[in-house]
Amino acid sequence: MLQKTFKQCAIAYIEAHSDSWRNAKHRAQWPSTFETYVYPTFGSTLVHEVRQSHVLEVLRPIWKTKTATATRVRGRIEQVLAWASAAGYRQGDNPARWQGHLDQLLPAPGKIAKVRHHPAVPVANMPAFLAALREREGISPRALEFVILTAARSAEVRGATWAEIDLEAAVWTVPGERMKAGKEHRVPLSQPAIQLLESLPRIEGTELLFPAPRGGQLSDMSLTAITRRMAFKDAEGDVCVPHGFRSSFRDWAFEHTDFARDLTEQALAHALESKVEAAYRRGDALERRRALMQAWANYCEGVANG
């Protein structure tokens, strides 16, 4: 049997797959978590000698205190060991697999770690938040306003360019490489969203809608800093974050409108739960979503919807 250490296999796995990971943070986390939690314990162990006891030695100290991290570490160990088996460096069962194996030895993550959603502005407070946001000057507040009006992710908005905007058709086309699902997504633009875009200055030397003052894209923290300063809180008393506005949008659609749930999920660029339905659906319901996004903009502006 060919011989490699676990660390050598992990490095080879990362080199083989990192180009397919669109998220830069995700790419950085793989070697970082291995360096912190795995290599000190069995990085130098030949991969064919890695046993359940090695995996548990890594996981048990952090399973209850850093549950989310521990869950990711377990999954990454499992993938590296699977790669090593496929490459001929080990044989037998995968000692890091969860189903029917480690799930018998460790408590389920959902039982010991409360799932914490992104703190979101309560729906009733959205008109007040948007009004307060519009009193703030600068590019970052305008980017956050566009996040709200489009129910988009921060990264999608921060990377948006003028070439993606069709003002006449009132459509923003986000390319697949900037979408979480990797697929192009068309966003119908409400009247307030169009007005916002028309008010933006065209900055020489960049195609970005919302360039940073010193050039390049705004950082994610630049939008988070605004919500922290505005200090609007969710129902549990936590200061809201930019990603939480997608939850506010979803709560509004569910609680205050008769729009179909699937239409809201399409607006959020979520995959349809039914694979059969997804396979047969060809269109993206752009015009139906246009009515949805206009109604959302009306609500946020305090305008009564018909």
- Domain positions in the chain are 6-112, 123-300
* Integer Cα distance of 251 and 236 in angstroms: 16
Which pLDDT belongs to residue 20? 79
Q: What CATH architecture does domain 123-300 belong to?
A: Orthogonal Bundle (1.10)
Q: Which two tokens stand for residue 175?
A: 């390319």
123-300 and 6-112 share a CATH fold = no
Question: What b/e string do you get for 268-293 counting C-beta neighbours within 10 Å, with b at 16 or more?
Answer: bbeeeeeeeeeeeeeebbeeebbebb
Q: How far apart are CA 299 and CA 126, in angstroms?
A: 8
| Top CATH class, 6-112 | mainly alpha
Query: What average pLDDT does the segment 274-284 reach?
Result: 52
Q: Is the pLDDT of residue 86 over 70?
A: yes
170 close to 186: Cβ distance less than 8 angstroms: no
Give the mean model confidence (pLDDT) for residues 129-153: 95
Report pTM.
Answer: 0.66
> pLDDT above 70 covers what percent of the chain?
91
* Residue 281, pLDDT above cutoff 60: no
The pLDDT of residue 280 is 39
pLDDT at residue 277 tops 70: no
- How many Å apart are CA 212 and CA 158, to the nearest integer? 9
